[in-house]
Amino acid sequence: MPDIQRKTVPPEEAGKRLDAAVVVLFPGLTRSQAQRLIREGLVTVAGRAVKSSHRLREGDEIALSRPEPAPSALKPENIPLDVLYEDEHLIVVNKPAGMVVHPGAGVKAGTLVNALLGHCADLSGIGGVLRPGIVHRLDKGTSGLIVAAKTDEAHLGLARQIASREAVRKYVAVVWGVLRDDRGRIEAPIGRSVHHRKKMAVDSRRGRRAATRFEVLERFQFATLVSATLETGRTHQVRVHFSHLGHPVFGDPQYGGRTKAISRLGGSERKAASELLHLVERPALHATELSFAHPVTGAGLSFKAEPPSDIMNLLDALRKGDRFRE
């Protein structure tokens, strides 16, 4: 039997589109998931099916039916995981660079989901057949901390904390150029690029609100080590925001962090930078801190993971170059 949840539209959601309000009132759903459920008639307003664009009134009752999760066709795989924490509700792992989080077009095996299915007895079904347990994501090239849910209760609680910014997610990144300000905040809406469907871009008209706080940790001759804290969680957010500032993430081929960045340097710096790019075959970006309240017990949980060897080797080389320059 499907799980039916009911919510009454509060004053602050009155006048909003149904799909936008569903995401707020039923945490754990993305906008696209909400729209799919609405299209399939699994979301009703005052007892009748309506379109995603339907405008709500205060006091309307929304009923959402969550269908039984379809059996996953994904195969559990015996892939080693760096597990920092695990209990019956959730698991926190340190994802290596190069691992895709969940299956998608052209990728059906070797993902974090495959590894989790091989490690855990079960995962939350809210993420769907291809994304069981996945509450938030890291890009394929990004290493670091990620939490997955084993139960629907944990999934909903974690999703709510991420949406309300109660969960803290911090990254370290090496970016091109020398940032002048010791700290700052980037607020620029992010949406799908109209020119390249696999890329995101700052888009003031169609983009969704996105904000990143940053702090400079160390400056080098032609690069900067920064700490970045997410206020929102848009796709490629850190990479897009620093590229928008003119300081793309070092080694990032999609957002100007490789050949495009080198072309802007002088002769001697260009040679040194080209050599350093051989140390990182991906964006020099690592999810280093993750803090949240346990979604079931309420206990505070906080985790840290140092950057892997490729980023550490890059930092050592940047420091060594600065010492020689002095």
Strand, helix or coil for residue 285? strand
pLDDT in tens, 51-89: 999 999 999 999 998 766 555 568 899 999 999 999 999
| DSSP state letters, 140-180 | TT-EEEEEEESSHHHHHHHHHHHHTT-SEEEEEEEEES--S
Residue ending a domain, choose from 130, 159, 188 = 159
187 plus 315 within the same structural domain = yes
203 plus 270 within the same structural domain = yes
178 plus 319 within the same structural domain = yes
Residue ending a domain, choose from 49, 66, 83 = 66
| Residues with a known catalytic role | 139
Question: Is 302 within a domain?
Answer: no
125 plus 204 within the same structural domain = no
* C-alpha–C-alpha distance, residues 42 and 101, integer Å: 28
pLDDT in tens, 28-54: 787 888 898 898 889 999 989 999 999
Residue ending a domain, choose from 127, 159, 191 = 159
What is the reported pLDDT for 50? Answer: 93
Backbone phi, psi, residue 183, to 5° = -155, 160
Question: Is 203 within a domain?
Answer: yes
What is the reported pLDDT for 11? Answer: 93
pLDDT in tens, 222-256: 999 999 999 998 999 999 999 999 999 999 999 99
79 plus 59 within the same structural domain = no
> Residue 93: which CATH number?
3.30.2350.10
Q: Which residues contact 128 (CB under 8 A, 6 or more apart)?
A: 33, 69
320 plus 182 within the same structural domain = yes
* C-alpha–C-alpha distance, residues 171 and 145, integer Å: 9
> Residue 46: which CATH number?
3.10.290.10
45 plus 86 within the same structural domain = no
Strand, helix or coil for residue 108? coil
Residue 326 pLDDT exceeds 50:
no
258 plus 229 within the same structural domain = yes
What is the reported pLDDT for 268? Answer: 76
3-state secondary structure string, 2-18?
CEEEEEECCHHHCCCEH
What is the reported pLDDT for 61? Answer: 95
What is the reported pLDDT for 28? Answer: 74
Q: How far lies 283's CA from each of 1, 89, 253, 256, 280, in Å?
A: 45, 32, 8, 10, 7
Residue 241 is part of which domain span? 169-287+310-325
271 plus 233 within the same structural domain = yes
Query: Is pTM, for the whole model, over 0.95?
Result: no
Question: Is 304 within a domain?
Answer: no
Question: Is 305 within a domain?
Answer: no
197 plus 273 within the same structural domain = yes
Residue 159 pLDDT exceeds 60:
yes
Strand, helix or coil for residue 84? strand
Question: Is 236 within a domain?
Answer: yes
155 plus 265 within the same structural domain = no
283 plus 262 within the same structural domain = yes
Q: Looking at the 3D structure of the chain, how many domains does it have?
A: 3
